[in-house]
Amino acid sequence: MAKKTRIAILFGGKSVEHKISLKSARNIIEHLDLGKFDPVLIGIDPQGTWYFLKDFSTEINKGEPLGVTLTQKSDPFYLLSNHRSIGAVEVVFPILHGTDGEDGSIQGLLRSLNIPLVGSGVLGSSVAFDKLASKKLLEQANIPSAKYMAISYNDKEGVTFEEVTHHLGLPFFIKPVASGSSVGVYKVKDKKFFRETLLDAFQYDNTLLVEEFIDGREIECAVMGNDPVEASLPGEIRIVGNHDFYSFDAKYVDESGAQLDMPAKLPEETIIKVQNLSIRAYKALYCEDYARVDMFLKKNGDILINEINTIPGFTHISMFPQLWTLTGITYKQLITKLISFAFERHQQIMRIKREYDSAL
């Protein structure tokens, strides 16, 4: 019998998206090919403490507190109670949505430990998570996105409603630069609650992105691979009920808040355009292994990139895994494929020489 690969599923996190991470992790664990992989469950509670769990639980702190040794060995994780190692970890699948998990922080730690990880590395994670950095890189690559302004916390008092509407018109969106799942995102229609909305959004970040409203269809495309990169058929999100946009409640709380059309009802030439633009955006933001590209399709056929999610949801309603099922790739096959990308990429990293002989 072939030896199973020990894979750490890293979930939870010190983030406003903590509960979404739990849902995604549960789904990955349930669909993991147990004939090939031996899961090691590591949860991070909302306060940032790491735990080792024998079985999956949303109550992460019922596990055993973990420590980590900054070493190049394959077993850096140990129990704080007795300093015993939890065994070798050959690859890590971080399924941490949001701050301190999707922004390059965890990726940097794992890179320092020399452990292969599924998903984008430090650079791709950090620039894709930062909406302002993403905008600038997309602009440089001549990839269209919505018009925007950036507002820092220190400059908040000097920004006026009139200034924003002059540049962006009405309505417009206010978003934290580094957050996800539409937490802290507001659609502003008039001056009445502008200041209150601005201050509330600043609870989630020190910089806000203010964007023009785009009157268009919300299209998503799943992308995976490194060389080559491939794109799925696109899907569409249609907001229903009393929701103004694809908010946190529309995504996760209200089960009838949105209708997901998979595949999206689009002409063949538009599908190809969506796929090509998704791959271009994926490469422009230095993404690796997999991501979900969100965009707007305007009535005149123009496509504008909204954002790229480097750790998209893996819940039972999440678009990323469901789009790949349209081409016959099951959840189990998809997870296995993503893990294989991690090992291939790690081999490329290890190929690079780290020492240099000189006369110094």
Lowest mean pLDDT across 20-29, 190-199, 255-264, 318-327: 255-264
- Positive or negative torsion for Cα 113, 205, 178, 59: positive
- Between CA 26 and CA 11 the distance in angstroms is 9
Provide the domain count of the chain. Answer: 3
Q: DSSP secondary-structure letter at 21? A: H
Same domain, 285 and 195: no
Same domain, 207 and 219: no
Q: 72-104: string of b/e by CB count within 10 Å (b at 16+)?
A: eeeebbbbeeeeeebebbbbbbbbbbbbebbbb
Domain contains 273 = yes
pLDDT band at 111; cut points 50, 70, 90? very high
Nearest to 122 by CA among 345, 359, 351: 345
Same domain, 172 and 258: no
Q: Biggest alpha carbon distance in the chain?
A: 71
pLDDT band at 178; cut points 50, 70, 90? confident
Same domain, 12 and 132: no
Q: Phi/psi zone of residue 308: left (φ > 0), alpha (ψ -120 to 50 degrees), beta? A: beta
Nearest to 12 by CA among 21, 3, 4: 21
- Give residue 332's identity as a one-letter amino acid code: K
The predicted structure's pLDDT at residue 72: 84
- Between CA 212 and CA 192 the distance in angstroms is 18
Domain contains 339 = no
pLDDT of 252 higher than 60: no
Same domain, 34 and 110: yes
- Between CA 325 and CA 182 the distance in angstroms is 25
Domain range holding 317? 128-143+215-329
Same domain, 265 and 132: yes
pLDDT band at 351; cut points 50, 70, 90? confident
- Between CA 228 and CA 250 the distance in angstroms is 34
The predicted structure's pLDDT at residue 257: 60
Same domain, 312 and 287: yes
pTM of the model: 0.91
pLDDT of 56 higher than 90: yes
